[in-house]
Amino acid sequence: MRSLVTATATELARRLDAGEVAAREVIDAHLDRIAAVDDSVGAFLEVTADHARARADEIDSRRAAGDDVPATAGVPIAIKDLFCTTGIPTTAASRILAGWRPPYDATVVRKIADAGLVMVGKANMDEFAMGSSTENSAYQPTRNPWNLDRVPGGSSGGSVAAVAGLMAPLAVGTDTGGSIRQPAALTGTVGLKPTYGRVSRYGIVAFASSLDQAGPIARTVEDTALLHQVISGHDPLDSTSIPEPVGDVMARLRDGVDGMRIGVVNELSGEGYEVGVSARFDESLRRFESLGATIVEASLPHAPYGLPAYYLVAPSEASSNLARYDGTLFGIRVDGETSAEMSANTRAAGFGVEVKRRIMIGTYALSAGYFDAYYQQASRVRTLILRDFERAFADVDVLVSPTSPTVAFPLGDKTADPLAMYLNDVATVPASLAGIPALSLPNGVDEAGLPTGLQIMAPTLREDLALRVAWAFEQDLGFSPIPVGHNTVAVP
Amino acid sequence: MLAQLAVTDDEVAGWTDELNKILAYAEQVGEVAAEDVSPTTHPYPLDNVFRPDEPGPVLDRDVLLAGGPETTDDRFVVPRIVAEE
């Protein structure tokens, strides 16, 4: 039997439900783990130990009393600091929200609590989810549990590091252009960006509203499916929430890929992708063939325009969303003679450099005279990319590519060159712009022992298909998601 | 001004080149998509979403005011909006 911190959420739920272990034991084991390793990893901005112990004790009492308790009650989870949590600091890793305690829970947080999952902490991230390395956090960097000199990816870097570092078997992140999938790839974890609108955005600090989507992160595909089932579904509090039912994503999880057609996206591999990444990707294609799938070439001709379009659409929407941080309703204030001065001073002091960069690009791209050439033109490219996907999915069941062109890179490697950092998102952005579900799972390690990621993209609403393909691959590969090798966190 | 960000001269000097590079990269979107392509601003088409117009629970005023940096008499405090003549 695996230790409590190396066990999967599914295993923990089974043992908790069978009464073999108490929620308090599970939570204490993970809080001990956090205390032991998070000084070196930096996954959490806030460890909610008191909250977690109180919740665990309550769950144990209810189980002891014979109450109807969900099987998952007592399983720990890390929550990205972009989700509002009542009375618990929520900063989006920004100085501008320092000390702010939301008066309500995000719908995702409420659903997590309803399933009895216990929040152990708020996870670090790039400020306002803008970044691909978690180095844009205003508070601390997060280190990759597979190599502490390297980044965990971003923006959901704290969430994936908590899961890879065995501080929680589950985490929720958000993905606007790749912020779940790229960090999952860099830390040997599984991360799913569901269809846009599948998971409620209510109570999630907004970055780019037409792209933002919350999703599950775990060490196995089964756990990822389990958490997706918990957090997804229609929410009347989010007007962009999809009314179609989610269905049982576990029902056909084990049905395999025999007879499926899997498309390799020509434009999302080859040049610009590291040797180790490409080698693992090619092996993955052969593995799918050995499992009975047919590999076919597919093309998304406009995918190369995805990244430039994304870096207009996302900053434009961000510049509008972030207008609310003006020193009036929440967060910090830096005084000024007039209201406008107070706002400008507050924002200058409260936002980090990447956030300012994107606000400036966004306000410029939306300004009269430039709107047509930038935001409008980027939105047209979005249509072309949507059409590309529709055409491709007419011929194949799912599309695959490497998740990230690189493995985890050293801290500080790309902070001086914003464009180099943006290129991390080249393979993840097309699915974001089209709103389709896409998942990353580990497909091995490179020559230095760092994890590589395989991206599986599925048609709209078909998270179940992406998960099914991923499960078949994972079972055959037998990858162990526990970090090993030089300069990793110690495994109990 | 639109961005409502106070910037120093040093910052402007550093950012000009950097932002121009990013915009030059982003301008690639001009190479494709003629005007007959309709823009997509939302990936999942939904019609207007309505709900019954019924009163529901709302947060207390005190709870909402508690998040603000400066409040008084049940209101958020801001400096004057318009500069003096």
The answer, yes or no, to whether residue B83 has pLDDT greater than 70, is: no
What does the block give as tokens for A417? 């060159």
Question: What whole-number distance in Å separates Cα of residue B33 and Cα of residue B82?
Answer: 44
Higher pLDDT, B73 or A43: A43
Query: Which residue carries 């956030």 as its tokens?
Result: A355
pLDDT digit string, tens, across residues A296-328: 999 999 999 999 999 999 999 999 999 999 999
Structural fold of domain A9-253+469-477: Amidase signature (AS) enzymes (3.90.1300)
Report the alpha-carbon angle A455-A460-A464, nearest 5.
65
pLDDT digit string, tens, across residues A246-270: 999 999 999 999 999 999 999 998 8
Q: What percent of chain B has pLDDT over 70?
A: 93
pLDDT the model gives residue B12: 87
B79 close contact with A: CB closer than 8 A: yes
CA distance to partner chain A, nearest, from residue B55 (Å):
14
Residues of A assigned a catalytic role: 80, 155, 179
Question: What whole-number distance in Å separates Cα of residue A48 and Cα of residue A44?
Answer: 10
User: DSSP string of A221-239?
Assistant: HHHHHHHHHHHBS--TT-T
Q: How many CB pairs under 8 A join A and B?
A: 167
A94 close contact with B: CB closer than 8 A: no
Question: What whole-number distance in Å separates Cα of residue A169 and Cα of residue A77?
Answer: 7
Domain residue spans of chain B:
1-33
- A136 in Cβ contact with A130 (< 8 Å): yes
Give the mutation candidate from B44, B51, B58, B81 for the A interface (greatest A CB count, under 10 A). B44
Residue A405 exposure: Cα atoms within 13 Å on the Cβ side:
17
- A449 in Cβ contact with A397 (< 8 Å): no
The ipTM value here is 0.92
pLDDT the model gives residue B85: 54
The verdict on a CB contact (< 8 Å) between B49 and A239 is: yes
DSSP category for residue A144:
B
The verdict on a CB contact (< 8 Å) between B25 and A311 is: yes
The answer, yes or no, to whether residue B1 has pLDDT greater than 70, is: no
Confidence of residue A3 (pLDDT cuts 50, 70, 90): very high
Three-class SS state of A31: helix
Domain residue spans of chain A:
9-253+469-477
Give the mutation candidate from A196, A347, A360 for the B interface (greatest B CB count, under 10 A). A360
Distance between first and last Cα of chain B:
21
Question: In chain B, whose CA is at the least distance from the CA of A312?
Answer: B26
- A41 in Cβ contact with A143 (< 8 Å): yes
A170-175, strands of its sheet edge to edge: A44-47, A118-123, A76-80, A170-175, A213-218, A190-193, A438-445, A451-457, A398-402, A261-265, A294-298
Q: Taking the C-alpha atoms of B9, B14, B17 and B20 in order, what is their torsion angle to the nearest 10 degrees?
A: -80
Please state the rounded mean pLDDT for residues A87-95.
Answer: 98
The answer, yes or no, to whether residue A1 has pLDDT greater than 60, is: no
Q: What percent of chain A has pLDDT over 90?
A: 96
B12 close contact with A: CB closer than 8 A: no
Rg (CA), chain A: 21
Question: What whole-number distance in Å separates Cα of residue A396 and Cα of residue A411?
Answer: 39
Closest in B25, B59, B69 to A419, CB measured? B25
H helices of A204-301, in order, are: 221-231, 275-290
